[in-house]
Structure 1
Amino acid sequence: MTLAVNHQQPPNRSRLVSWPRIRLWLIMTAIWALIRTLTSETTGFTEWLVRCGLASALGVLAYGVLDQWPRRLPRWSPRWILQLLAVLIVTPPAAYLGYAATLGTVDVPSLGTTYRDGWLITSFMGILVGPWIALGAQLHRSEAFAREQALAFKLRSSELERKAVDARLRLLQAQVEPHFLFNTLANIRSLVRRSGSADATAMLDNLIDYLSAAVPRLEAGDATFEHEQHIVRAYLELMRMRMPDRLGYTVRIDPAALALHCPPMALMTLVENAIKHGIDPSETGGAVDVRVTVRDHRVQVSVANTGVGLQPRRGDSAGTGLSNLRERLALAFGDDAQVRLGSAPASGTVAEAEFPACRGDPA
């Protein structure tokens, strides 16, 4: 015989006397006892409460027992059918026990046809009404199960959406600086070929410092401005060695900002953009000024350069780094983050970013 697994919660004895079932029992008992009191001339409401209460209690208990046991049922046997049959079977003997309890004897028929007929009428009412109440309980349980499934699906969807956002964020982070590493290695190769061993060694040392600071942060979600400061300084020192006569730089970060959250490589993106689009194209080079301040619970980042200034974009050749940065900040802070690019007061370009000041990962 093929068995079907019943997809429900594990058996729990406390559910047999849960409040919803106690409430169902109280309602059934009150209505049933009131009807029998109005239709009976010899028995009071209190006795009917005992009789109907005992009968309905055993019916609700039988329904609850078959709600959890057995754990597995044949495919051709739905659980709700067994529960209805249990209510139908339990109702007559349960009503008889109620009569015996109130009359003080187990031989109810010996007291006369009045009590025998009363027990039969009470049993018939239980058989007639009980299954409908059981069906109502089953419907309520099905609705509750549907709500639980909908909530579980919503939670699962939220979790998948969060993982997708995380994956997208990591992809964007991985796209920030691929060309920088190859360009630096190419420069080192040129220096070695020219037998400039001292310069090559110094550049290798700075490259190691940069990679040691940058690579772990690509996988981290709790980067701070203190971490970013190490990456930026190592990167700028490498660039200064590549063009010693054309690059100067300053890095100033408020002490209050050092422990604040910074999306990994966010500050580095602005600095790299200043070098790539401001300093590199200029024959005379220029200076890069990095500033991070905290004001009114918001972080304000400014990276200015005195290079060639804003230039018209040519297709997708420019602005990729800033576009990625905007998307990464949007993933981290939603609409509460901004990235701006404009001309510096004297000459060159200034890139600014602003987002909420918070400690640790905002997600």
Structure 2
Amino acid sequence: MVTVLWALIRTLTSETTGLVEWLLRCSVAAGLGVLTYGVLDQWPRHLPRWAPRWILQLLAVLIVMPPAVYLGYVATLGTFDVLSFGTTYRDGLLITSFMGILVGPWIALGAQLHRSEAFAREQALAFQLRSSELERKALDARLRLLQAQVEPHFLFNTLANIRSLVRRSGSADATAMLDNLIDYLRAALPRLGAGHETFEEEQQIVCAYLELMRMRMPDRLTYTVRIDPAALVLHCPPMTLTTLVENAIKHGIDPSEAGGTVDVLVTVRDQRVQVRVADTGVGLQAQRGDLVGTGLANLRERLTLAFGDKAQVRLGSAGTDGTVAEAEFPAHRGDPT
């Protein structure tokens, strides 16, 4: 832009040279200045600490401007003896050289600042990408840790129940309960290390779990599991349903002498999955405040890690007795990533 502007000014003030010649002269001078700046950007590779590279580049541009302007004149006049054309050409050469010395370093300095800004943006972007990657890995590790806190807890409690049952009632009931435990392990263990699963896979785990609990409390527990067919292929964070159902059994049905019913309902509405687990147990008023802390807190944190602020976990009363736990998050098919 500066080159074209100076060529236009010299064309208007010169009586001997046209626009094309001035454009060529100014372009040769500017091109050699840029070339000098670029060469010194790479060479020499190592400079003393007291000699910043950008200062060397500015000085080089200052020095190269007069010879660069002279070569521009040579290119347009076809001879090295530029001064033989008279004082008009000599004055033009001197004026253009002076302008090159005056403007060239500023253009070079502007290029340096622009390059520094581009480098800073590139470094900031690289740092942001690296930070995002590290954050993603940290969240993934934290999510797997939270899952690991949920799964062994149920397994060892069930094994303890089986041991008590074998001691108490003999082989028939124990065999039936072991069969249900095997069904649960077959459904759950292959997916403990998975990053995602579907509601159809989660349904298998929940049904096996509830059947185990029914075997443990045959006179005190009934249950229903209803999942919208459209939700079966959707992504379900591992152990989401199981955590809600386990919470209902542990804090609602178990403490109640009469037991109760657990109803599991999963629906899809407005591109969001709505999970509802209701029990007719002792209700929130009869529960201690810390009883529902760990399981639901872990679930809320896992859903937040998976969906951010688009996920919700709620706990409330169901009429005079019982509790309703609800989870809601975006509907994604398969793996949401």
CA distance in structure 1 between the partners assigned to 2:69 and 2:186 by the alignment: 81
Among 230, 239, 259, the residue aligned to 1:265 = 239
Q: For residues 149 and 36 of structure 2, what CA distance do their matches in structure 1 show?
A: 64
Shift of residue 41, structure 1, vs aligned partner: 4.6
Structure 2 runs not aligned, ≥5 long: none
- Segments of 5+ residues of structure 1 without an aligned counterpart are 1-26
**Which residue of the partner structure matches residue 167 of structure 1?**
141
| Residue 199 of structure 1, CA deviation | 3.8
Counterpart in 2 of 1:338?
A: 312
The alignment yields a C-alpha RMSD, in angstroms, of: 2.8
SS in 1 for 2:225: strand
1:244 to 202, 215, 218: 218
Deviations 1:297-349 (A, max 9, x none): 33222222232222344352333222322333333333433333333357433
Secondary structure of the corresponding residue to residue 236 of structure 2? coil
> Structure 2: how far apart are the matches of 1:211 and 1:65?
68
2:57 pairs with 1:57: no
Aligned positions, number: 336
Mapped partners of 1:280, 1:177: distance in 2:
19
The one-letter code matched in structure 2 to 1:310 is: L
CA positional deviation for 1:131: 1.2
Q: CA deviation at 1:53?
A: 1.5
Classify 1:78/1:216 alpha carbon distance in 2 versus 1 (closer, same or farther; 3 Å): farther
- Matched AA of 2:208: A
1:72 match: 45
Deviation at 1:232, TM superposition (A): 0.4
Query: Which whole-Å deviations, capped at 9, do the CAs of 1:190-213 have from their partners, x for residues lacking one?
Result: 344458344444433433332333
- What is the aligned partner in structure 2 of residue 350 from structure 1? 324
Counterpart residue type for residue 149 of structure 2: Q
210, 218, 221: which one pairs with 2:184?
210
* Residue among 266, 272, 286 paired with 1:298: 272
Equivalent residues of 2:283, 2:321 under 8 A apart: yes
- Within 5 Å, which residues of 2 pair with 1:316-335? 316-335=290-309
Q: Secondary structure at the match of 1:161?
A: helix
Give the share of equivalent positions with the same residue, in percent.
82
* Deviation (angstroms), 1:246: 2.3
Give the aligned partner of residue 146 of structure 1: 120
Query: Partner letter of residue 29 of structure 1?
Result: T
Question: What does 1:15-54 align with in structure 2 at a 5 Å threshold?
Answer: 27-37=1-11, 40-54=14-28
Aligned equivalent of 1:308: 282
The 1-side partners of 2:249 and 2:33 are apart by 81
Change (3 A) 1:134 1:223: same
User: Matched residue of 2:264: which SS?
Assistant: strand
CA contact (8 A) 2:256 2:282 kept: yes
Give the equivalent residue in structure 2 for 1:24.
Answer: none
- How far does residue 295 in structure 1 lie from its aligned partner after superposition? 2.9
- Aligned partners of 2:146, 2:305: CA distance in 1, in Å? 11
Deviations 1:110-167 (A, max 9, x none): 4445434543443233223211210111112112222222333333333333334333
Post-superposition, which runs of at least 4 consecutive aligned residues in structure 1 deviate over 6 A? none
Counterpart for residue 101 of structure 1: 75
Q: Judge which range, 152-161 or 256-265, deviates more.
A: 152-161
Give CA deviations for 1:49-92 in whole Å, capped at 9, x if unaligned: 2211211122123323433x348323534332343244234323
Matched, 1:281 2:255: yes
Distance 1:246 1:96 in 2: 103
| 3-state SS of 1:249 partner | strand
In structure 1, the partner of 2:200 is: 226
Q: Report the TM-score, using the length of structure 2 for normalisation.
A: 0.86
Structure 1 contact 249–287 (Cα < 8 Å) conserved: yes
- Inter-partner Cα distance in structure 2 for 1:158 and 1:144: 21
Distance 1:343 1:174, change over 3 A: same
Q: Classify 1:244/1:72 alpha carbon distance in 2 versus 1 (closer, same or farther; 3 Å).
A: farther
